[in-house]
Amino acid sequence: MAKVTIKVNGKNHTKTVEDRTLLVNFLRDELGLTGTHVGCDTSQCGCCTVHINGRAVKSCTVLAAQVNGANVVTIEGMAKGSKLHPIQQAFSECHGLQCGFCTPGMIMATAGLLKDNPNPTDEDIYKGLEGNLCRCTGYINIVKAVKRSAKLLRGKAR
């Protein structure tokens, strides 16, 4: 068993888990943070994307023990109380989702993309979201939502 302490959304959590526990299971089963989804469980769909020390990663392909001592942000850490994060707001306004299953991962991946590239072109967005699959929208509104997010974050949205 491994005793791990992980700071999740600003709060330290210490748990004793099996060494083979994946981060996504740690978040969902140990902490009850079920916003991070398990889609494919094979690091392809990106539904489980969270940030570890500020970088977007797929939490189904990381052991909780590897992240011991790290700073993790999940979709639950994005909104401030009832005020949506600008990326969440943009996905809502642009209808960047239908069923919503991929959305937490899309939002965390978008946050990662915009951190590296605050003003992405369509091509940059296609490449930046390559690790995330959506089976509903056809991506058109997701790309719109990312562009809108970028504007909101740069404080330039009307």
Partner 1 sequence: MYALNYVKAKSVKEAAEFLSKHSEAKLLAGGMTLLPTLKMRLARPTHLVDIGALAELRKIEAKGGKLVIGAGAKHHDVATSAVVKKAIPALAGLAFAIGDPQVRNQGTIGGSVANNDPAADYPAAVLGLGATVVTTKREIAAEKFFQGLFTTALDAGEIIVRVEFPLPKRAAYSKFHHPASGYAMAGVFIAQAVDGVRVAVTGAGPGVFRWKQAEAALAKGLKPDAIEGVKLDYREFNNDIHADREYRANLVRVMAKRALAKLSGKK
- State the residues that interact with partner 1 by CB under 8 A: 2, 18-20, 22, 41-44, 46, 49, 55-58, 61-63, 65-66, 68, 109, 112-113, 116, 128, 130-132
Cβ neighbours of 135 (radius 10 Å): 11
| Alpha-carbon distances, residue 70 vs 46, 53, 65, 97, 123 (angstroms) | 20, 6, 10, 30, 32
Between 12 and 66, whose beta carbon lies closer to partner 1?
66
Phi, psi for 26 (deg, rounded to 5): -60, -50
Between 56 and 90, whose beta carbon lies closer to partner 1?
56
Tokens for 100, please give them: 């919503």
Closest among 134, 130, 93, 89 to 112, alpha carbons compared: 130
Least distance to partner 1 from the beta carbon of 120, Å? 12
Between 4 and 8, whose beta carbon lies closer to partner 1?
4
Between 55 and 154, whose beta carbon lies closer to partner 1?
55
Least distance to partner 1 from the beta carbon of 91, Å? 18
Do residues 93 and 78 touch, judged by C-beta distance below 8 A?
no
